[in-house]
Amino acid sequence: MRNIRNFSIPVLLIAVFGFMLMGSNMPENEDKKSDMPENIKAIVDKSCMGCHNSDSRSEKAKAKLNFTTFSELEDVKKIKTLRDIVEVLDEKKMPPEKFLKMHPEKGLTEKEELELKEWAQKEAKAVLNK
């Protein structure tokens, strides 16, 4: 009887700490995902990710905007980047024209452009009002 009790207390402690750790990690992971809804992720994957990711060969594009690490940006930088996204979309600067000539299928439809812009505006406001 004593043996069982000695054994089960550490096991119980490990289980409790395990659940506490899981509990504290889970909302964080969910937050990161909720930064970008699925439809926005799909648009970015198709039209932007090729150049704006951690493995991009374009240092310039990566330095200006890296979607791989976007969710980890501090608030001020995130807001600035979101505003830049709205701006380049308004000005039809992104994706670049040259790139679209070679890959017309990666262009944004009007609906996608609007969705991406609305997401960036909403997200910037959400970070601002946090």
Contact 35, 71 (CB under 8 A): yes
Residue closer to ligand HEC by CB (options 58, 68) is 58
Q: Does 8 bind ligand HEC (CB under 6 A)?
A: no
100: exposed, middle or buried (Cβ count in 10 Å: 0-12, 13-18, 19+): middle
**How far is the C-alpha of 100 from the C-alpha of 5, rounded, in Å?**
69
Q: Does 111 bind ligand HEC (CB under 6 A)?
A: no
DSSP string, 17-59: HHHHHHHHHHHHHHHHHHTS-HHHHHHHHHHTTTTSSTT-S-H
Structure tokens at 14: 């490990």
Answer for which of 35, 48, 53, 78 binds ligand HEC (CB under 6 A) is 48
Answer for which of 64, 115, 117, 127 binds ligand HEC (CB under 6 A) is 64
Q: Does 127 bind ligand HEC (CB under 6 A)?
A: no
Neighbours of 85 (CB within 10 A): 23
Answer for which of 40, 41, 73, 84 binds ligand HEC (CB under 6 A) is 84
Q: Does 40 bind ligand HEC (CB under 6 A)?
A: no
Q: Does 50 bind ligand HEC (CB under 6 A)?
A: yes
Residue closer to ligand HEC by CB (options 30, 72) is 72
Instruction: Specify the 3-state DSSP secondary structure of 99.
Output: helix
Q: Which residues bind ligand HEC (CB under 6 A)?
A: 47-48, 50-52, 58, 60-61, 64-65, 84-85, 88, 94-96, 99, 108
